[in-house]
A and B are shown apart, each in its own frame.
Chain A
Amino acid sequence: MSYQKYYVPDQSKFPIFAAISLFLLVMGASSTINSLDNPDSNAVYILYLGFTVFGINLFFWFKTVIAEHIAGLNSAQLQQSFVFGMAWFIFSEVMFFAAFFGALFYVRNFSVPWLGGEGEKGLANMLWEGFEASWPVMSTPDAGSAFVLADKNMSWPGWDHALKWLPMWNTIVLLSSSVTVHFAHLALKNNNKKVFNKWLAVTVALALTFVALQIAEYYEAYAHYGLTLNSGIYGSTFFMLTGFHGFHVMMGGFMLAVMLCRSVFYNHFDSESHFGFEAASWYWHFVDVVWVMLFLFVYIL
């Protein structure tokens, strides 16, 4: 077996700058959040600074890694490290969503029924005796004395209204984007860069469409449904699950857009070497699977 040297980079300035910018980012974020009711606070500029430095640093970090790859420093073994690394990173993201899905599962199956007087711990109903359990929870146990109740929810409206229902379109858009990114992948494997670029561009466009639709949905929720973060547990789980998913769609879409730019402007990627794209597409499929779960457990069931 022939052995290729595993490239261990010399000293690097990227990590320490990443750490410093993360520090600024979270200091800025904490200070900003703690002074939300103080209009004179300038803490948000620390947040911006941290975010900017982090982004710039990340850009040059990735640029260096790409340059090393093009220079042929990365052995097959090292590339395998990236593959494993990305796979485990996605697993950690799965577990992040698991926490929120777990919370949803728990409130739907345990805490809300118990508060409504059902089940083994139905004694909890003595806290707010008039409360009746249902899902989505439209009236909070305290009947909205500490919350602003929603008039409508986002759940499945029935087949008659299915086509006027935004989440249905979101599902169609996102599922087809998973297919288009797969077409792009196939084209790349055939070394057909033109078709690759085309399908990848379609995927990015679909990602943008999804985000636009979700913004429209949130606008509807806040402006017309009265459904907000402050509407009790239904609003909490709805916005946190769909919000974090939307945030991941933006990240995944951004990654794919970067890959598109790399391909179009720098002619990166060929049928042999394209893990940057592949990692982004894995991430995209992951985002898609999370959406299917969301569609089932947040919207339909």
Chain B
Amino acid sequence: MSAVIESHDHEHHHGPAEGLTRWLYTTNHKDIGTLYLWFSFAMFLIGGAMAMVIRAELFQPGMQIVEPEFYNQMLTLHGLIMVFGAVMPAFVGLANWLIPMMVGAPDMALPRMNNLSFWILPFAFFILLSSLFMEGGAPNFGWTFYAPLSTTYAPPSVTFFIFSVHILGASSIMGAINVVVTIMNMRAPGMTLMKMPLFVWSWLITAYLLIAVMPVLAGAVTMMLMDIHFGTSFFNAAGGGDPVLFQHIFWFFGHPEVYIMILPAFGITSHIIETFSRKQLFGHTSMVWAMTSIAILSFVVWAHHMFTVGLPLAAELFFMWATMLIAVPTGVKVFNWVTTMFRGSITYETPMLFAIAFVVLFTIGGFSGLMLAITPADFQYHDTYFVVAHFHYVLVPGAIFSIMAAVYYWIPKWTGNMYDERLGRLHFWLSFIGVNVTFFPQHWIGLAGMPRRVPDYALQFADWNMVSSVGAFLFGASQILFLFIVIKTVMGGKKATPEVWEGSRGLEWTVDSPAPYHTFTTPPKVT
């Protein structure tokens, strides 16, 4: 990393405004980052409660607690909330907090638009959640909302769902434009692109993906709206359209979307492993190229979600090989993380525990992804719990663990207080055990043939479903502990130094803890 020559601030600054309007009218990237992070936490708990309903229903075979119709609404909203309400806003919150400090900028490039990007979210999710109380219930067609389930057979609330996706998309696009512009235009003098911290790099690539694919999602839901209410036949074969067309458009958005949810995690992990190994990261440049390659490849692999839908053979082969190609840059990244740790002076503070767990468990999720990428094998795995296990391994101990790692790693910078290390480690181990007990057995019941998205199942899957549910309850409960730790840290604790960690590198560690309300109003010089 680059050293800082001059980072003194000669100007006098106002602190934050008082009261509620501070948060409503704020243009400050740290305030907005905080809003995003708390919002994401709230959504994580709501989406998590829905997961608890799902696992409670699946605790035993037979219909136990909820009606199948309501079960479908729970699994749909669980997916939508976790993707659009929990993971994405958490990463945007981290971007808001960290990117201006990491590149030495006074704020995000377009501060008012930044506020709008955030405040759209609570309204969008209010609309989405209010559909639970509408006639016909909430959306019940899965987070992928395949036509015709989401068109011909959808509940009336689908219209509200469509419009809430529209404004969510607008929020994401504005947020992403803000990130790109901040990174392109606001870097401190001397910070060349290749000197940029990896979290910033990962977000530059993520933002590019967001701007490229969120409009495609908007197009998809618009076609749905027209098909449902205005007589078009995009997804209706009787009129010359094709329900498979929906899947193509959706996954053209959807596959880059899953990388949107993992690329910032790559950045976070790189920083944390570097710090706690007390070594410079191995292969900074190759990390950048690996992330870029992954982002480019993400546009040409979408149909691996659709192997069983009846694609031409050439498409099956192309998408299989393109998908397997992604393992190469991903392997580069895992290699670099391991090599960074190799012969490092490692200590195992909570962020490092989460980061190591990320590397190991995300790799497991990656391997099951490789299994799924093999077209003929996918014919067997498709739509089973194996798929559920796969994407939960990349999203929970992948994306979510990296977010938790980031919170533990940077919360001393945000609040000025150290978190309680003992409780942090307890939270880690409970989460680690919970996540594996929940999702590992799902590989087995999936390979044994249990379909996903069912409220009831054959008796032979009973034992492992019960184990999985117990793990889920443990994981769910341990997040209450996380909430407690965060609140405790905000309220007080051992004071943090500006560097916070012994091996920390980067501009954000040169400012006080907690970071002043305005940082780098005069840009630092980076060499």
Contacts and interface: CB of A to CB of B under 8 A. Distances in A.
A23 to B, nearest CB: 4
Nearest to B222: A240
A96 B218 contact: yes
Given A26-B166, A236-B226, A99 B216 contact: yes
B230 interface: yes
A95 B106 contact: no
Contacts of A233: 233-234, 239-241
B248 interface: yes
Contacts of B7: none
B159 A84 contact: no
Nearest to A9: B27
B181 A137 contact: no
B110 A85 contact: yes
Interface stretch (B206-214, B258-266, B368-376, B423-431): B206-214
A20 B123 contact: yes
Contacts of B102: none
A187 B123 CA distance: 45
Given A84-B184, A121-B310, A15 B215 contact: no
Nearest to A91: B211
Nearest to B311: A121
A30 B109 contact: no
Interface in A1-41: 1, 3, 5-6, 8-16, 18-20, 22-23, 26-27, 29-30, 33-34, 36
B159 A30 contact: yes
A10 B111 CA distance: 9
B256 to A, nearest CB: 11
A110 B242 contact: yes
A7 to B, nearest CB: 9
B215 A92 contact: yes
Contacts of B166: 26
B159 A13 contact: no
Contacts, number: 227
A1 B237 contact: no
Interface residues of A, number: 75
Contact of B237 (A99, A103, A115): A115
B233 A232 contact: yes
Contact of A124 (B185, B211, B237): B237
Interface string B121-140: 00100110000000000000
A120 B116 contact: no
B214 A229 contact: no
A88 B177 contact: yes
Interface stretch (A139-147, A164-172, A217-225): A139-147
A147 B180 CA distance: 45
A81 B523 CA distance: 16
B22 interface: yes
Contacts of B380: none
B211 A229 contact: no
A52 interface: no
B494 interface: no
Interface in A113-138: 114-115, 119-121, 124, 127-128, 137
Given A27-B127, A95-B211, A16 B115 contact: yes
Nearest to B112: A12
Given A9-B112, A120-B312, A77 B242 contact: no
Contacts of A14: 112, 116
B378 interface: no
B293 interface: no
Contacts of B189: 1
B240 A232 contact: yes
A112 B167 CA distance: 33
Nearest to A116: B240
A27 B521 CA distance: 40
A15 B229 contact: no
B107 A8 contact: yes
Interface string B158-192: 01101110110010010011101100111001000
A127 B237 contact: yes
B322 interface: no
Nearest to A143: B238
A160 to B, nearest CB: 29
Contacts of B240: 107, 111-112, 115, 137, 140-141, 232-234
A295 interface: no
B238 A140 contact: yes
B507 interface: no
B149 interface: no
30 contacts: A1-B189, A6-B186, A9-B111, A11-B25, A12-B115, A19-B123, A23-B123, A26-B163, A30-B160, A33-B229, A34-B159, A77-B185, A77-B186, A84-B109, A85-B109, A85-B177, A92-B214, A95-B212, A95-B213, A96-B215, A96-B216, A99-B220, A100-B219, A103-B219, A103-B234, A103-B245, A111-B241, A115-B237, A128-B238, A140-B238
Interface of B: 14, 17, 21-22, 24-28, 105-107, 109-113, 115-116, 119-120, 123, 126-127, 156, 159-160, 162-164, 166-167, 170, 173, 176-178, 180-181, 184-186, 189, 211-216, 218-220, 222-223, 225-226, 229-234, 237-242, 244-245, 248-249, 252, 310, 312-313, 518, 521-523
Interface of A: 1, 3, 5-6, 8-16, 18-20, 22-23, 26-27, 29-30, 33-34, 36, 61, 77-78, 80-81, 84-85, 88-89, 91-93, 95-96, 98-100, 102-103, 106-107, 110-112, 114-115, 119-121, 124, 127-128, 137, 140-142, 145-147, 228-230, 232-237, 239-240
